[in-house]
Amino acid sequence: MSALLEPRPPRLQPMQMADVDEVVRIEQQCYEFPWTRGNVVDSLNSGYEAWLLRDQDGRVLGYFLAMLGVDEMHLLNIAVAPEAQGQGHAQTLLDALCQIARSKHCLQLWLEVRTSNVRARLLYQRYGFDEVGLRRAYYPAANQQREDAVLMSLALTEPCP
């Protein structure tokens, strides 16, 4: 196959205001309690790390938003479009997050994940995150209930996976 016919790999780029509607659409497809348009806009306005993964046709495959702290980065949100799941895009996004955190001299990555989100927890564990705590009643749940979050951490003192 010639180089001209080979598919180009997805590309990572900073999220812009023009991307918010597509991000919110993916949020609504992926989560029972998605971030609102206002949540995404506020994150961009606050200068959080906000990155997209696009396919060769410019469609958003996934994204993440993360907040820089003192010596640490906190992953606030990550999602891969349902039609693009299972293709390694979450790994690509985590790799980018890890690189960005290291470039900002972070020593630790943090995240919360629903206790019921076994698929994500396994992904994070395979990536090297450790389960280090529990945040009780952290997430909204059905019937006005709350769900616990598992607090996970990844030390950046070793190379990222």
**Both structure tokens of 16:** 């812009």
Residue 72 pairs in a beta bridge with 108
The pairing of beta strand 72-80 with beta strand 108-114: parallel
Marked catalytic residue, from 112, 131, 147, 158: 112
- Which of 124, 127, 139, 147 is flagged as catalytic? 124
Q: Give the Cα separation of 140 and 148 in Å (integer).
A: 9
The two three-digit tokens of residue 10, written as one number: 């997805």
Distances in Å between the Cα of 137 and the Cα atoms of 66, 76, 85, 114, 146 are: 22, 17, 28, 10, 5
158 in catalytic set: no
Q: How many helices (H) and strands (E) does the chain have?
A: 4, 7
The question of whether 31 is a catalytic residue gets the answer no
| Closest among 119, 117, 84 to 10, alpha carbons compared | 84
Mind telling me the catalytic residues? 112, 124
